[in-house]
Amino acid sequence: MAEGSLIRYRELFAEMLPLICYCQYTHVSDRHIYNAVRKRSQQVKSMVNAQAVSMNIEASLQAPTVKALLINFNFSEPIDEVLIDRQAHWIDFSLTPRLHNARACYTDYWDPHRFESLGDIYLIPAGHAFHARGDQGGHKAMICLLPVGPEGCWFENKVDWTDRHLETSLNIRNGHIRSLLLRLGEEAQHPGFASEALAELIAGQLTIELTRHYASTLDDAKNGVLTPWRLRLIDERLMDLTEAPTLTELSELCKLSVRQLTRAFRASRGCSIGDYIAQCRIEKAKKYLEGTQCIKEVSYVVGFSTPAAFSYAFRRATGETPGEYRQRVRSFNFSSVRPV
């Protein structure tokens, strides 16, 4: 597959944005939008033999330094493709659970067999080849583009994109960045007075927080963090959450003292081991709540002693009860997705 074709495939989203924004402001019907987008996407797909995918664009917002789309994706086949965009940094914020086995590899820097899991938020730096894989299915995401150049995002000049930075970019755990993306998505869905100006301000804050986030990652590397193989061992142990591991067990697994482990883990993941285990339980619970198991059963499967304790922890972490989360995910019906 030619690199030029891959670039054109990624540029499809950027090409769609001006069209969609124009149609919104001139009150052209949605059918006109989808017809135009379908025609353009078919041209690009024919160039790259793209995966079978349908998209429903719920909302969009465009400003000189940021472009945002709220999209419902539905992949009828497993994903296995290389992506690259030289014109913008690409942020993907999944608003519903990611596809199972979603993972990626930076092919220009890593061994081709090294694939790391994708978090709720990941960033693809401009000009970096990104090999994505995942099972078939659907999810809703906000795609945020930060254009490079004098008028665009400037934080790329502050980041060297080391192996550590690239690994961190696949799972950005930062409350400030998450809040800014949510606010941008809210403005895209419900634009108000001076929406473009507000988007510009949010983009400015977002680049600052991204710069600080990657700077702290570099500081952690200097201060001593866990090696990738140790982090992988911990994650593999946490796959079974019915019985949470003790610090002694994890320290023996990593061949470190408890003190070394706790300090290096906090430097690596930005939280304590206890907090990380709690986060893993919640993420595991989300996947079970997508199924048919009752909430009581889910609470025991992910290691909580009572359903009440599970409900309290889940609401504290997500802002909604397990029942509310299940209802919201189930209401996300892909039968309404219109193909591009």
Q: In what order do the strands lie in the sheet with 88-94?
A: 53-63, 66-75, 137-147, 88-94, 121-124
Specify whether the CB–CB gap between 82 and 141 falls below 8 A: no
With a pLDDT cut of 90, the percent of the chain lying above it is 27
* pLDDT score of 334: 43
Give the global pTM. 0.58
Is the pLDDT score of 7 beyond 50?
Answer: no
Question: Using 50, 70 and 90 to split pLDDT, how confident is the model at 190?
Answer: very high
Is the pLDDT score of 127 beyond 70?
Answer: yes
* pLDDT score of 60: 93
Is the pLDDT score of 95 beyond 80?
Answer: yes
Q: Which tens digit of pLDDT belongs to each residue from 261-275?
A: 888 888 888 889 988
Is the pLDDT score of 254 beyond 50?
Answer: yes
Could you give phi then psi for residue 51, rounded to 5 degrees?
-65, 155
Is the pLDDT score of 2 beyond 60?
Answer: no
Is the pLDDT score of 335 beyond 70?
Answer: no
> What would the mean pLDDT of 162-178 be, rounded to a whole number?
86
Task: DSSP for 253-319, please give it.
Answer: HHTS-HHHHHHHHHHHHSS-HHHHHHHHHHHHHHHHHTSS--HHHHHHHTT-SSHHHHHHHHHHHHS
Is the pLDDT score of 339 beyond 90?
Answer: no
* pLDDT score of 35: 57
> What would the mean pLDDT of 247-252 be, rounded to a whole number?
89
Q: What is the largest CA-CA distance in the chain?
A: 64
First to last CA, the chain: 22
The angle at the Cα of 88, spanning 105 to 95, to the nearest 5 degrees, equals 65
The sign of the torsion formed by the CA atoms of 229, 230, 231, 232 equals positive
* pLDDT score of 8: 43
Q: Which tens digit of pLDDT belongs to each residue from 99-125?
A: 889 999 999 888 888 898 898 999 999
Least confident window among 8-12, 69-73, 135-139: 8-12
Residue 258 burial by Cβ neighbours in a 10 Å radius (0-12, 13-18, 19+): middle
Q: Which two tokens stand for residue 312?
A: 């309290």
With a pLDDT cut of 70, the percent of the chain lying above it is 76
> What would the mean pLDDT of 119-137 be, rounded to a whole number?
92
Domains, the chain, ranges and CATH? 3-218 (2.60.120.10), 228-334 (1.10.10.60)
Question: Using 50, 70 and 90 to split pLDDT, how confident is the model at 155?
Answer: low
